[in-house]
Structure formats: structure tokens, C-alpha cells
Amino acid sequence: MQSLYNTTKFRFSQNEKLFYRGKSAILPDDNTDIRYLHLGNNMAKLELIRNFCIIAHIDHGKSTLADRLLELTGTVAKRDLQEQLLDGMDLERERGITIKSHPVRMEYAAGDGNTYELNLIDTPGHVDFAYEVSRSLGACEGALLLIDATQGVQAQTVANVNLAFKQNLKVIPVINKIDLPAANLELCYEQMEEVLALPREEALCVSGKTGEGVKELLEAVVSRIPHPELLDIPGTAALIFDSNYDTYRGVVNYVRVKNGTFRRGTRIRLFNNGIESEVKEVGFFSPEMRAADELTAGSVGYLLPNLKSPSDTKMGDTITDVKDPCPEPLPGFKEVRPMVFSGIYPIDTADYEQLKASMGKLQLNDAAFLYQAETSAALGFGFRCGFLGLLHMEIIQERLRREYNCDIIATYPSVIYNVYMKSGEMIPVDNPVFLPDPSGIERIEEPIINCHIMIPSEYIGDVMNLVMSKRGICTNTVSVDARHVIITAEIPMHEILIDFHDKLKSMTRGYGSMDYEPAGYRADKLVKLDILVNGEPVDAFSSIVHTDMAYGRGRQLAERLKDVIPPQMFQIAIQAAVGGKVIARESIRAMRKDVLAKCYGGDITRKRKLLEKQKEGKKRMKQIGQVNIPQEAFVAVLKATETNS
């Protein structure tokens, strides 16, 4: 969209744009409408605002650089400084990764004599949190692209810079960790030009740890990143780029104001559902929430509407003023599509309602997390949940346990399969339990991903073997420089769910990195693997696997279940079956009562009579007996599957 002051309707000369620089405003003429003056004041503030985010591959120093920026601008007092200041979760500090994007406002007195409002958003680096990055980019005009001086350009670096270019952001390349002895600046310059098509002259060299070069970086932010511009539409509008739920105050909306001004008491309307509410508080992050008199156009901050239900707010929605409405919603974010599915159930069925409420609050904070109710014969009432990847799934489960005190169990992760029936119907299946009768299936198609793997050249053989062991096809190999190559491969999504990334890191000694995007569906020989305990299928352990891998996985599950299911009064058969064919079996021995203990003498026929009586009882018990699998067994088997698959 065009900026408002450049359109024909508002024709100002350079002086008439009312940019405030400590002097009195100049009006175009005596007949100027008062709203022009308000517009001019807004434009004066706009020139002194810079909205930018930090993007990079995982562990390239985003949060550490953000700490130095906060320190240099005096946003946080020295006594309050700590490492990873913007990472508010204990989980983020423990793992050393950023999970959520974190906005913060800084005041910076630049070399040109002006004091600028810098709105920084620190973003995650892992591929599973790419949706967080895309939403953060939507609230900015520029991005600092961080490159580790010791590792150079990585797979996620390329993915993030492409996201920034798609949003027409000004990208400033920054080479970080120059204080380390292993820093290789020449390699970084070469990769910038070859892979990212960014000239080396634009790069800045900094050290987030020591603070070297950070002052020059702030000056570059002020001079290179453009200021926000008003949109070519009337009315007041703000874009929701994130949300949170406060137990005492309800829904907190993180917004980027595009047009107009929001104040306490403003009557607002949400475009998505038409709900109207009154703003209880507006403010910004410094980095904690700090109330302000108003949020003006171009600013990033928060709104506290009078909303108590997490379902009232949607990510990417537009907020407008009821008295000064905008005619149409702002362009939001594309709907995210989960790639990994898993069932989450409360260990105690009485906690179902608490888990349901907790998931609603968590979804408000993480729009990429989707869930719907489902039931399981083995686990009771629970939810079928969708995630962007396995790390995303792991983080969601951990947050449910820590932040919402939910005792939960998760089933084996799966993906969406397209099942084509002989009748011509196509059925999407995300849970193996719902797979139709095999006799009516024509073919099953599984999701394929295009995987871009960046590795040192000496590991190319090992990585290609890994890709082929996961039923992948290497489609292209490109040399980035003398030391690195990028392998492009097509791999079934199901095959990378569990241990692909870990194995890649292990065999490349930590130097390998990967990024992927969906690449459609492909038909293959896929079957449903059932686990039967005492002849009854346990749906929590069902999975859809390739024919060649069914035997190995069935044997593994049967052996693991044999170790964790306690012995019963009768022998239990654990079977892995494909269709009606049993492909693996293990047996759990029966607990034996010594019925001969009281028979201390007499004829052998007396002992035989007691043993026959016991045998008949066990046979009758087996016919009517039920095997109750403890929750600990589900947890143990699923954890073993994750580590051994």
C-alpha cells in the first residue's frame, strides 16, 4: 500500500509534512482541517520509529545480541541484566533456545541528535518455530540477519532471509561472534554473496558477548531501516501479531498499530468475529509490560481489551476503533497447517476439563498449535493435536506440564495420509485408528518434504546413506564453497519425525543443518501395524508404516511391551499384526501359585488332580480375563519408541 501523505488527497510540501524536529509545526494554509494537523504529528513520530527483528539459524547468538542492545540503550538497569533476558520461560533458559518471539521498546539517542524509538522483536531460530518468525516479520520494516562467524550461513539462515525478502523488509547482514578464535570472516563474506546474494560491503561485524560493534549496529538500524508509513486507507487499524493469556486480566493482544491511535477507554471491534470491547490498558514492553497513555501509528505494543475467553482472539486479526473504523481488515497471516499429529490425554480422566481449558490458553499464545477432542479405548477422553514439528510437539507437552500443571501422556506422532478408496473417494487420515478396511483401499499416499541439508563436504557420503535409509531420494547437490555442500532430498515426512535431525547432527559432529518445506504427496506400500494384547488391539500403539519396516517395528514394540506389562494370573500373548497376519509375538509368563505346597505326602494322583484343577481355572480365567495396561507402560513404550526408532 502507498503511504498516506504521498497520495493526491493529502498534498504536502516537504515543510508542510509537519515533521516535528523541536520546532513549531507549519500549516499548509489557514483552511487546513484539524485532522491534517493530527496526521502531521503522527508523521513526525513515524520518522523517529524503527521496527526491526533479529533472524538467524538456531544458536547463532540472537538473544545474546538482544541483551547487548538492551544494555547499550539503557532499557534495562545494569543490576537487572542477565543472560537471555528476553527469554522469559524457564524452558527457554534450560535449553538455550528461543521458543517465543519477544517484543521490546528501546530509546536510542542517535548520532544525528534525534532520539529514536526502536521496537525490537527477538525471534526463534528452529525450523519448527518458523511461524513465529513470519508473524514477527509482519510487524517490522527491517531485519538483522545474524550469521555465526564460526559456522557461516546455515540452512535456516537461508530460509529466514527468504521470508524477509518476501515481506519486502530491509535486511542488514550482521556477522556475530567475531571475538572467537575460530571466527572465519572471509568464509562468511563468500557465503553471503554466493548463497544469500547480499554484498559484503553491507555486512557489520559484532560480538554479542563483548559488545564490540553494537554501537555501529544501532546507527545502521537508524540509517538503513525505513521508518513506518501510514496506510492508504482511512480509519484506525492495528494488526494482532501475537497474544497471551493473563490469569487476572484476561486476553493480552500484542499489536502493531498501522493507522490512528489507541488509548485507554477506546471502544474497539475485532474484524474476525465482530466482538466489541473497551480497552482497559495500552502500553509497550520494556521488556516487562509498561502502561502508556496511547499507542500511535507505527508503534508496537499491547492492548488489554475486556475479553476473558481465549477463543475471542485470533492471530492476524485486525483491531479497529468503533468511532473511526477502517473499511477492510489488514492483510493477516496465512493459515498454518500442522505437519505432525499426536494424541494428548490426561493421566487422570478427572483432569480432562482442566486440560481442555489449558489448551485453549496455550493456543492463544501459540497459533501454530491446533487441537480437537477425541476418545481412545485405552486412554479415555483426550485431544488430537497438530504441531509444526517434533520439537514443537515436545515443547507444547512440556509447557502443558510446567505452566498449567497437567499430567499428560502423548501417543506416537503421525502425519496426515491421503487414503484413496476403490470407490473413488479420498479420505484424509491423521490417526491410524481411522484407517478404513484394507480390502476397500486402492492406494495410500504419504506427505513428502523437500529437505535442504547443509553439511561440510567430508560428510556427504554418510548423509546420503542416512537419507536413503529413510526412504529418501537425493535430487540435487550444490557446492556452496570449498568446504560446504547443500543436499536437496525428497523424504517422506513420517521418516524424519523421530530421530533424523539427531542422527544428522551426530554424524556431522554438530555442523550439519536442515530446513524443509512440504512437497505434496506420493503413493507407497503403506500398511497399518496393530499391536494386540491378549487378542485385543491397543489403538494407542497403532501406526501406519512402510511394508519393509513393519516387521522390525512390530518386533521392537512387542519386546518393549513384554518388559513393561506386569505378569497376570494367566499367560499373555503380545502380537504385532498387519491386517490378519501376525508378524511378531512375545509372551508374558503367568504368575504361578504353588498349589502343591499343602500336599506334603500321598499318592502322585493327588498332586496331578490339583494341577489339573489349576489348569482348568487358568483356562477359564484367560477366556474372560482383561489385561489392564498401566499408564507407566504407555509412557515407557512411547519414550522407548522415540529414542530407538
Are 257 and 296 a contacting pair, CB within 8 Å?
yes
Specify which of 396-400, 465-469, 482-486 reaches the highest per-range mean pLDDT: 465-469
Query: What is the distance between the alpha carbons of residues 96 and 109, in angstroms, rounded to a whole number?
Result: 31
Res. 356: pLDDT tops 80 = yes
Segment 363-373 shows an average pLDDT of: 79
For the segment 414-464, what is each residue's pLDDT rounded down to a tens digit? Answer: 788 889 988 888 888 877 888 888 888 888 888 898 888 888 888 888 889
Sign of the C-alpha dihedral computed for residues 144, 145, 151 and 155 taken in this order: positive
Percent pLDDT > 90 in the chain is: 0
pLDDT at position 6, please?
Answer: 36
Higher pLDDT, 329 or 614: 329
Higher pLDDT, 25 or 82: 82
Higher pLDDT, 502 or 116: 116
For the segment 6-38, what is each residue's pLDDT rounded down to a tens digit? Answer: 333 333 333 333 333 333 333 344 443 433 344
Strands (E), 417-483: 417-421, 426-429, 441-456, 473-479
Strand partners, 25: none
- Phi first, then psi, for residue 445 (nearest 5°) are -110, 135
For the segment 238-271, what is each residue's pLDDT rounded down to a tens digit? Answer: 888 888 777 788 888 888 888 888 888 888 888 8
- What amino acid occupies position 321? D
pLDDT band at 42 (very low <50, low <70, confident <90, very high): low
pLDDT at position 7, please?
Answer: 35
Segment 110-139 shows an average pLDDT of: 75
Res. 595: pLDDT tops 80 = no
pLDDT at position 27, please?
Answer: 39
Output 76-82 pairs: Cβ under 8 A, ≥24 positions apart: 76/287
pLDDT at position 190, please?
Answer: 86
Number of Cβ within 10 Å of residue 129's Cβ equals 24
pLDDT at position 371, please?
Answer: 86
C-alpha cell at 590: 503367568
Strand partners, 370: 386
Are 430 and 339 a contacting pair, CB within 8 Å?
no
Output 33-41 pairs: Cβ under 8 A, ≥24 positions apart: 36/10, 39/4, 39/5, 39/10, 39/230, 40/12
Sign of the C-alpha dihedral computed for residues 286, 289, 294 and 298 taken in this order: positive
Strands (E), 35-113: 49-56, 102-109
Query: What is the distance between the alpha carbons of residues 501 and 515, in angstroms, rounded to a whole number?
Result: 10
Angle at CA of residue 163, ends 160 and 169, nearest 5°: 105
Segment 563-585 shows an average pLDDT of: 80
Q: What is the DSSP string of 135-152?
A: HHHTT-SEEEEEEETTTB
User: Which uninterrupted H or E stretch holds 63?
Assistant: helix 62-72
pLDDT at position 645, please?
Answer: 44
| Residue given cell 494367566 in the structure block | 570
Strand partners, 588: 572
Are 512 and 453 a contacting pair, CB within 8 Å?
yes
Query: What is the distance between the alpha carbons of residues 392 and 406, in angstroms, rounded to a whole number?
Result: 17
pLDDT at position 8, please?
Answer: 31
- In the chain, DSSP finds a helix count (H) and a strand count (E) of 14, 30
Segment 333-345 shows an average pLDDT of: 74
Res. 140: pLDDT tops 80 = yes
Segment 378-393 shows an average pLDDT of: 79
Segment 112-136 shows an average pLDDT of: 74
pLDDT band at 644 (very low <50, low <70, confident <90, very high): very low
Res. 121: pLDDT tops 50 = yes
Of the chain, the end-to-end C-alpha distance in Å amounts to: 50
pLDDT at position 41, please?
Answer: 54
With b for 16 or more beta-carbon neighbours within 10 A and e for fewer, the 462-472 pattern comes to bbbebbeebbb
C-alpha cell at 210: 563483548
The whole-chain average pLDDT of the chain stands at 77
Query: What is the distance between the alpha carbons of residues 624 and 595, in angstroms, rounded to a whole number?
Result: 22
Window from 81-85, 126-130, 284-288, 512-516 with minimum mean pLDDT: 81-85
Strands (E), 185-248: 204-205, 237-246
Report helix, strand or coil for 31.
coil
pLDDT at position 5, please?
Answer: 36
Higher pLDDT, 210 or 85: 210
Specify which of 272-276, 443-447, 631-635 reaches the highest per-range mean pLDDT: 443-447
Segment 627-642 shows an average pLDDT of: 58
C-alpha cell at 415: 502425519
Segment 227-237 shows an average pLDDT of: 83
pLDDT at position 596, please?
Answer: 66
Window from 301-305, 330-334, 485-489, 524-528 with minimum mean pLDDT: 330-334
Segment 323-333 shows an average pLDDT of: 79
pLDDT band at 100 (very low <50, low <70, confident <90, very high): low
Window from 481-490, 562-571, 588-597 with minimum mean pLDDT: 588-597
